[in-house]
């Protein structure tokens, strides 16, 4: 009988989403500063929505990556647990 799967940790998924959402907001602020120092005129509404979109994308991307990582960790198949090294020889394939 296979070992019971660990349940997904929603707290870790939310924390990853919040962290990457902050990264998305930081990128949005960086782009906003670049636009402010160019002769290009962008409406405040467009800047607001670009900030919202980048922050939201960061949240969704972080949550998706963490959820997939947890699903991969809880999968009982050994192919999902094989660690591939960087720059080394590839492992034997069945």
Among residues 2, 27, 11, which one has the least CA distance to residue 70? 11
Q: Does pLDDT of 90 surpass 60?
A: no
Contacts of 41 (CB under 8 A, 6+ apart): none
Whether 88 is in a domain gets the answer no
pLDDT per residue as tens digits for the range 44-75 = 999 999 999 999 999 999 999 999 988 888 87
* pTM (2 d.p.): 0.71
CA distance 3 to 67: 20
Strand blocks (E) in 1-94: none
Average pLDDT, the chain: 84
Domain count, the chain: 1
Q: Does pLDDT of 83 surpass 90?
A: no
Whether 94 is in a domain gets the answer no
Whether 39 is in a domain gets the answer yes
Whether 60 is in a domain gets the answer yes
């Amino acid at each position: 009988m296979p070992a019971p799967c660990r349940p997904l940790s929603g707290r870790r998924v939310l924390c990853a989403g919040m962290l990457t959402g902050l990264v998305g907001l930081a990128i949005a602020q960086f782009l906003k500063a670049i636009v402010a120092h160019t002769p290009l005129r962008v409406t405040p509404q467009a800047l607001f929505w670009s900030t919202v979109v980048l922050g939201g994308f960061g949240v969704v991307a972080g949550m998706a990556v963490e959820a997939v990582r947890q699903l991969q960790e809880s999968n009982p198949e050994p192919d999902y647990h094989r660690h591939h090294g960087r720059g080394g020889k590839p492992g034997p394939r069945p």
